[in-house]
Amino acid sequence: MVLESPQITLALEDTWGISALFCSKVRDAEQRLVTQEDARCLPQPLAVNLHILKLRMSIVGSSSNFIPTNMHWTDLVADKKQRQLKSIPQDWLVSPPPDSTLDVTGFPETCGLLNAREIEITNTSVDVLLEKLASGEWTSVDVTTAFYKRAIVAQQLVNCLTEIFVDRALARAAELDDHLKKTGKVVGPLHGLPISLKDQICIKGLETTMGYVSWIGQYAEKNAVLVDILLECGAVPFVRTNIPQTLMWPESFNNVFGRTTNPYNRSLTSGGSSGGEGALIALQGSPVGVGSDIGGSIRIPAAFCGLYGLRPSYGRVPYSGARNSLEGQDSVLSVFGPMTSSIGGLKAFMKAVTNAKPWLKDPLAVRKKWNEDEYNLADHGSGKDLCFAIMWDDGVVVPHPPIRRSLEVAKAALEKAGHKGFSRLTHFSSRAHLVAVVDWKPIKHGELGDVTRDIWNAASAEDYMITASLTGEPIITTMELENADAVLAPFRPKKGVWNALDYPAAIFPVTTVDPNLDTKKPRHDFYDDFDKGIHQMYDPETFKNAPVCLQLVGRTLEEEAVVKMTEIVDAALASAK
């Protein structure tokens, strides 16, 4: 690893020991940059290698963006939070309920800030929103304002936002409305639709801290490729959302913006690392958001917050121009994907982005437009003879009672809909579906999950420790084959298995925790101490009313089929209620 600064460039060659030494050295120097004198104090060969090894220009930034080293990290945070507060229109501030009120999902509609029409807009599905925006029935300014107001309420409830840029977003919405009025045509398939973005996705002119104090004051000089594509598609980027320090946590807490909580139960986490997106969308503060996923970071918050989310295969959604941890780690790659409260948002986002030919802007993007034949399951018997394999546990932990019950609910719903054995399903469409539901036995999920974790750890520890040390901020210390068409499975704990295999996976809601149904049952046999610890952690009252979701996993680059099969399962669940 390398640190490049106006004073000196250091080569840091050890993966673990030098990190602690370097952090200590920076603390001893009172959070200033390492000087030539500091470098001489470092032992060889860990000290200076003047033929330069970079710690990424994006970490330190250009000298014009570098944070003054005479400011303590807490002062930098206080200034940033004050600027964030000033970006909120004062008449959008409300009196939130006390912290003792755990479920705040109903508050945005009763707080008095949104009028009846704005409540209707924010409760409308993505498909209908796009129709009304394209027809001019609803203007983008009105839709963006409605979601912005609800997003600001969400911020005051669960602390889910990082960057707030109201004037800029509304100006963009007004331009789109003007274009539609003058030409009668939409700019693109996402015309006028507000879209929220995870904090790591760069927008020109905005800070991208990614939860690092040392990145405060670094303004993006250009958009991430995905942002440019969303703009071409007619979308309105309108907020960025909270993440954990380093992105490598299943919750969302950092020293810059603090902790994001779960709107269904504010004593619980919203998940991570796309936890700001999860909490925001659960409160209907955004119709579609973009998260990233290297080990579950879309699926965890989507599951915790009762949403739909898609982890696509690598390259379907462009990643270039975004900031990240784990630079140089190419074994298991992070991907961007959609999160939404309405299942139609998955297809709308993926179809728009892939049809925009992202490979022309990002050379690592896969050259594959949205394929409607694949969406109609042409490679899966046109939806006939489908086989859903249910993985009851992954051989690592036995799922908690509500997770087990959700699998049973999904299986029963599929069977009720005609998916029992090879019986005929006729309710979903005029075309008959023949579907089997079978059990699935996982193969070496524990081993593959451990290998994936080791890859992350080998690449990440020095990266995020050095970045945090630039301002002396503390490191967060809570880190720790059948012939089936798709697999239905719990989304945890070895969620990184599907990343390692590069299989697309979609999250969908099934039920909520019910202490009367999901009682804790005694167990005496465990896979290991980890399994035992997970079992002991469960308390039905603690998780009361928390969303319970499952994931549907398909084969590499079969996003279209995964979306369609998720719709089939979702329809079966809806009809069974």
pLDDT at residue 55 greater than cutoff 70? no
Q: What is the pLDDT of residues 334-350, one digit of tens each?
A: 999 999 999 999 999 99
Residue 483 neighbours by CB distance under 10 Å? 8
In this structure, which long-range contacts are made by residues 97-100, counting pairs with CB atoms below 8 Å and at least 24 apart in sequence?
97/157, 99/266
Backbone angles phi, psi at 159, to 5 degrees: 60, 60
Quote the tokens at residue 471: 């301002």
pLDDT at residue 211 greater than cutoff 80? yes
pLDDT score recorded for residue 372: 98
- For residues 379-383, give the mean pLDDT: 87
Least confident of 152-161, 190-199, 414-423: 414-423
Q: What is the pLDDT of residues 19-49, one digit of tens each?
A: 222 222 222 332 333 333 333 333 333 333 3
* Surface-to-core class of residue 454, CB atoms within 10 Å of its CB (0-12 exposed, 13-18 middle, 19+ buried): exposed
273 is in an annotated binding site: yes
Least confident of 363-367, 399-403, 460-464, 515-519: 460-464
Is the four-CA dihedral 412, 284, 289, 81 of positive or negative sign? negative
Q: What is the pLDDT of residues 511-535, one digit of tens each?
A: 999 999 999 999 999 999 999 999 9
pTM to 2 decimal places:
0.81
294 is in an annotated binding site: yes
Catalytic residue (one of 140, 273, 286, 406): 273
- For residues 108-134, give the mean pLDDT: 99
Residues 6+ apart with CB under 8 A from 453: 295, 496
Q: How far apart are CA 134 and CA 415, in angstroms?
A: 39
24 is in an annotated binding site: no
- For residues 149-173, give the mean pLDDT: 99
**Order of strands across the sheet with 433-439?**
161-164, 236-241, 194-198, 288-293, 335-340, 308-311, 505-512, 547-553, 486-489, 386-390, 433-439, 424-425
Q: How far apart are CA 475 and CA 255, in angstroms?
A: 9
| 58 included as an active-site residue | no
Q: What is the mean pLDDT of the chain?
A: 83
Q: How far apart are CA 80 and CA 64, in angstroms?
A: 18
Domain ranges of the chain: 2-68, 87-370, 371-443+481-577
- For residues 105-119, give the mean pLDDT: 99
Catalytic residue (one of 58, 149, 196, 198): 198
Categorize the per-residue pLDDT at 4 as very low, low, confident or very high, splitting at 50, 70 and 90: very low
pLDDT score recorded for residue 11: 28
Domain 87-370 has CATH 3.90.1300.10: yes
Q: How far apart are CA 131 and CA 381, in angstroms?
A: 31
User: What type of residue is 100?
Assistant: S
3-state secondary structure of 293: strand
Q: What is the pLDDT of residues 283-331, one digit of tens each?
A: 999 999 999 999 899 999 999 999 999 999 999 999 999 998 766 667 6
309, containing H or E segment: strand 308-311
pLDDT score recorded for residue 497: 82
Q: How far apart are CA 158 and CA 261, in angstroms?
A: 5
Categorize the per-residue pLDDT at 454 as very low, low, confident or very high, splitting at 50, 70 and 90: low
Q: What percent of the chain has pLDDT over 90?
A: 67
Categorize the per-residue pLDDT at 417 as very low, low, confident or very high, splitting at 50, 70 and 90: confident
pLDDT score recorded for residue 70: 79
Categorize the per-residue pLDDT at 130 as very low, low, confident or very high, splitting at 50, 70 and 90: very high
pLDDT score recorded for residue 107: 99
Least confident of 149-158, 184-193, 241-250, 352-361: 241-250
Catalytic residue (one of 58, 214, 297, 469): 297
Q: How far apart are CA 181 and CA 41, in angstroms?
A: 67
298 is in an annotated binding site: no
pLDDT score recorded for residue 30: 29
534 is in an annotated binding site: no
423 is in an annotated binding site: no
Report the alpha-carbon angle 20-242-352, nearest 5.
Answer: 120
| 325 included as an active-site residue | no
| 198 included as an active-site residue | yes
Q: What is the pLDDT of residues 458-486, one digit of tens each?
A: 555 556 556 666 676 775 544 334 578 89
Bin 545: left if φ > 0, else alpha if -120 < ψ < 50, else beta: left
pLDDT score recorded for residue 329: 62
Q: What percent of the chain has pLDDT over 70?
A: 76
pLDDT at residue 56 greater than cutoff 50? no
Chain centroid to CA 235: how far?
A: 19
pLDDT score recorded for residue 475: 58
Q: What is the pLDDT of residues 538-550, one digit of tens each?
A: 999 999 999 999 9
- For residues 85-90, give the mean pLDDT: 98
